[in-house]
Amino acid sequence: MVKRILVMIALVLASSSSVVRAADVVRVGGYDFPPFVETGAGGAPSGLSVDLIAALNKAQSQYEFRFVTTSARRRYADVEAGQFDLMFFESPEWGWAARGAPVDFSNVFLKGGEVYIAPAKSGRGQEWFDDLKGKRLVGILGYHYGFAGFEADPDALARTWGMKLLNNHRSSIEMVLADRMDVAVVTDAYLWAYLSRNPAARERLLISDRYDQHYNHRVLVRRGGAIDVDTVNRLLSTLEQNGTLAALWKAAGVVR
């Protein structure tokens, strides 16, 4: 009798374990790209990509999304090596199409772009941005620039445009505020967030009406990875419909 009970318990446990299935791990690559990914002094990532991972994990249990670190220049090789399955806030135009990388892209889920900023001075207007040749330009290492034909190579940008490349937008903005650079190219989402935290800087900056480029942010999805693009689109649609995405954008100050 005892033996029979033990066998029944074992069968129940085996049945239960087959029902309870571990979530599939989805690795989300990210590089320093404020306000989407920001790396603090201790190395721990923060920003909208990390917030979106938390929202996706809260919204469902089939997948466990985890952040993994890459860099703007290394991300192409890393995705081909299978180091991550997804990357948020990407665009096919940022070198992916030209490389023929084994990736798909989700529907657009956030729009934005890059603008020019300059020190605000008496008599200076939007015409300041009409011709960038001969101006002291500053941008971010690894980014593609519309005014330069979407060139990202630092040597080419330095040789043709005399462009100085840094590792973060905050430094670019502060070099312009200090009048050490004539023009910086910055992500609009980061600029709005920066000005919401530093409102006094607004009157010291001239911000261009025209964009260097417009972003149509998508999720990059590695083919053959832990999740497919149709599933990603479905999850994003759910977060959009229930207001989660709008709340994330508002909290980060990335929309005006």
Task: List pLDDT tens digits, range 196-253.
Answer: 889 999 999 999 999 998 888 999 999 999 999 999 999 999 999 999 999 998 888 7
Task: List pLDDT tens digits, range 181-200.
Answer: 999 999 898 898 899 889 99
Q: What pLDDT score does 94 carry?
A: 82
Residue 11 has pLDDT above 60, yes or no: no
Q: What pLDDT score does 17 carry?
A: 47
Residue 103 has pLDDT above 80, yes or no: yes
As a whole number of angstroms, the distance between CA 194 and CA 252 comes to 10
Across the chain, which distance is largest between two alpha carbons, in Å? Answer: 96
Q: What are phi and psi of 152, to 5 degrees?
A: -125, -10
Tell which residue, 140, 144, 139, has the closest CA to residue 98: 144
Domain 113-214 in the same topology as domain 22-111+216-252: yes
CB-CB contact of 180 with 137 (8 Å): no
Q: What percent of the chain has pLDDT over 70?
A: 91
Mean pLDDT to the nearest integer, 139-151: 89
As a whole number of angstroms, the distance between CA 55 and CA 238 comes to 11
Structure tokens at 146: 């519309």
22-111+216-252: CATH, from 3.90.1300.10, 2.40.50.700, 1.10.10.10, 3.40.190.10: 3.40.190.10
Where along the chain do its domains lie? Answer: 22-111+216-252, 113-214
Residues paired with residue 110 on neighbouring β-strands, in sequence order: 217
CB-CB contact of 105 with 223 (8 Å): no
Record the pTM. 0.73
CB-CB contact of 30 with 75 (8 Å): no
* Mean of per-residue pLDDT scores for the chain: 89
Residues paired with residue 46 on neighbouring β-strands, in sequence order: 38
113-214: CATH, from 3.40.50.11540, 3.40.190.10, 3.30.70.1530, 3.30.1360.70: 3.40.190.10
Q: Is 5 helix (H, G, I), strand (E, B) or coil?
A: helix
Mean pLDDT to the nearest integer, 18-47: 82
Q: What pLDDT score does 191 carry?
A: 93
Q: What percent of the chain has pLDDT over 90?
A: 65
Distance from chain centroid for Cα 171:
18
As a whole number of angstroms, the distance between CA 68 and CA 84 comes to 7
